[in-house]
Chain A
Amino acid sequence: MEIERKLLKKGSLGKLFEKITASGRRILAPVQDGENIFFKEVCSPEEVAKDYIQTTLSAKSAVFPACEKLFEYKFEGREVKIEDRDLNFKPTVIFGLRPCDARSFSALNAVFSWDYQDELFKKRLERTAVIGLSCGKADEYCFCTSVGGGPGDSQGSDILLTQIGSGDYLAEVITEKGKELVAISPELFEPAGDQDKEKYLAKLPKQFELKALSEKLPGLFNNTELWIEQSLRCLGCGACAFVCPACVCFDIQDEAKRDGGVRLRCWDSCGFSLFTLHTSGHNPREVQNQRWRQRVMHKFSYFNDRLGVIGCVGCGRCSRICPADMNLLEHLKAIAEAGK
């Protein structure tokens, strides 16, 4: 579909939110919570956080919740009754998603439709539309341009808004889903002039060559010294994986009560030692440097090799929240530039 350019006046946001909510959809948008910003359900644009670079947690919980019920079971006499969960998810519009996060959905989708079609994820994704928001600013942790993205990248957004000089938004309608959203209140989307989108985007030069990185990685697998050096200060918490929009590892937990129980799917992280602990007691990734290596190799080598998508979108969240200041970007640059 060819991208349609429209103009959305900033004063029209209120009406747009109203119309979207009235159409039976819920709106998730970044909301300020003390020093953090989380995606929460909102009704009006006043609730949306202003003037920020990135949210604390990603929006992946809209399609891949932190704790999701798979099914419930009950004992009735000697019978076990299984109740599959309801797949009737409320249609959702994610408003204000940055281009890096919008790209992450293709990474998530690649895993959930690879060898098994994950119905839960698919249904949620089908009913999710994205009104993305281009970045006018970036900080030292951002590196979307180094991994094939950009502050105004439209991949993954159904409508991409770029705030222009007057405070109004240039609205690019990218997909059919985007067209459907416009159709909810077409009068709010005026024809755009010849506003130059590039002018309003953050300038973010590439920090390293992705190709150089991907080529070097397979050969570095056995370079234990490198991985030890990089990971000495890593504490092995799971925070990086949990805030990452492209991380998709999960754990299945059965929680039982006397008369029944529930099976849940929850987020997990390869940074935990428990992640690869075998029942025999053997752990192929016994020490942190092996787990750090896994993180880098998985996201920048295996993911691309197997699924044709890169496993990182350069949002920088992992580095912002890391309690040990690991700073992924620094490590990637070091690897890409090694041997120069």
Chain B
Amino acid sequence: MEELRKKARELLESQAVKVIIGYGKGSSDQARTVFIRKPEAVDKLIQDESCVQNLAVYLLKPEVKALGKPAIVAKPAVLRTILQLASENQIKDGELVVLGISPDNKLIEFPDLKAVEDYVSGLSFEYSDADKALLEKLEKMDRAERFKFWQEQFSKCIKCYACRASCPLCYCSRCVVECNQPQWIPVAPHQVGNLEWHIVRAMHLAGRCVNCGDCGRACPVGIPVHLLGEKLAEEIFKSFGLKSGTKVQGEYALGSWKLEDKEDFIR
């Protein structure tokens, strides 16, 4: 924490960056995002287990961009997000300073995005025990049981789009649901509307989702939407050997193809 604050103060005093996007104390026992612009305010920055939100979601917001060049506090999940955004040409070297936080809470300074790539390649990304258990449970169910499980979950959905808003990779200025010529996905929060929304979001994120889990955390009614991203990330790695958020110039699984792509269901 002290190293982080020291570095943050340096960056602001030298005006190398105009804003530090990091975590501060929030309500109850949560952390919340803080935008530090004055060197004296760096003591607001904290770094502990309560700091879970994926801060990269703020990098592409017009109001945050208007503040100037940012430095962003980046845990491993955020580092992957930054790489994925770079692969999608949303951010470039020199546009931001990455203040990496290692899994054991140490500050890592990265001179450029390539350094982030090298660092990330040495990390392992595991799903949480709870997620692994739930994925296993779903795997063991038969199709009809799985259908029942997800329909019950989706019946809670109120189409608040907190999952979309909290996702750093859902940055489309006009989301597909907002197009009404044609109205591809029903707006209404009825059973079919909810199912189709979650299917579309999972597919539009397939090969891009970095499994940060923020969508599941953001859902006010407790639907484990992040599981869809986890399942598809597994499938894409298994079938195509690709993992999102690992390279500065990553390959988009659904934008490329190989002659050798294998499947067992096309007649």
Chain A residues with a Cβ under 8 A of chain B: 33-36, 38, 56-57, 66-67, 140-141, 228, 231-233, 235-239, 241-243, 251, 253, 255, 264, 266-267, 269, 272, 274, 277, 287-289, 319, 321, 323-325, 327, 330
Contacts and interface: CB of A to CB of B under 8 A. Distances in A.
A33 B222 contact: yes
Contacts of B166: 235, 237, 323-324
Given A237-B164, A237-B165, A239-B162, A266 B220 contact: no
Interface stretch (B90-98, B107-115, B185-193, B240-248): B185-193
Interface string B171-204: 0000000100001001111100100000000000
B35 A67 contact: no
27 contacts: A35-B222, A56-B221, A56-B222, A57-B158, A66-B158, A232-B64, A233-B32, A233-B35, A235-B166, A236-B165, A238-B160, A238-B162, A242-B158, A253-B186, A253-B187, A255-B186, A264-B190, A269-B160, A272-B161, A277-B178, A289-B63, A323-B53, A323-B162, A324-B166, A325-B26, A325-B27, A325-B30
A38 B221 contact: yes
B158 A323 contact: no
Nearest to A141: B27
A36 B219 CA distance: 11
Contacts of B53: 323-324
Contacts, number: 114
Interface residues of B, number: 39
Contacts of A288: 61, 63
B159 interface: yes
Contact of A243 (B26, B58, B220): B220
Contacts of B189: 66-67, 266-267
Nearest to A232: B35
B244 to A, nearest CB: 21
Interface pairs A-B: 5 shortest CB-CB: A237-B165, A323-B218, A325-B32, A237-B162, A321-B220
A307 B64 CA distance: 36
Contacts of B106: none
A267 B158 contact: yes
Interface in B111-163: 156, 158-162
B102 to A, nearest CB: 25
B202 to A, nearest CB: 18
B62 interface: yes
Interface string B25-47: 01110111111000000000000
A333 to B, nearest CB: 12
B57 interface: yes
B62 A287 contact: yes
B214 interface: yes
A243 B162 CA distance: 12
A213 B158 CA distance: 31
Nearest to B55: A233
A266 B187 contact: yes
A67 B190 contact: yes
Contacts of A324: 32-33, 53, 166
A232 B63 contact: yes
B7 interface: no
Contact of B188 (A36, A264, A325, A330): A264
Nearest to A139: B28
Nearest to A289: B63
B239 to A, nearest CB: 32
B5 interface: no
Contact of A140 (B28, B57, B190): B28
Nearest to A274: B178
Nearest to A316: B27
B69 interface: no
Given A140-B27, A289-B63, A324-B53, A242 B156 contact: no
Contact of A266 (B28, B188, B221): B188
Interface string B217-231: 110111000000000
Contact of B165 (A228, A319, A323): A323
A36 B257 CA distance: 43
B218 to A, nearest CB: 4
A241 B221 CA distance: 14
Instruction: Give the interface centre of B53, B64, B190, B214 by most chain A CB atoms within 10 Å.
Output: B190
Given A33-B156, A140-B28, A243-B160, 12 more contacts: A66-B158, A231-B63, A232-B33, A235-B57, A235-B218, A238-B162, A242-B160, A255-B186, A267-B158, A321-B162, A323-B162, A325-B27
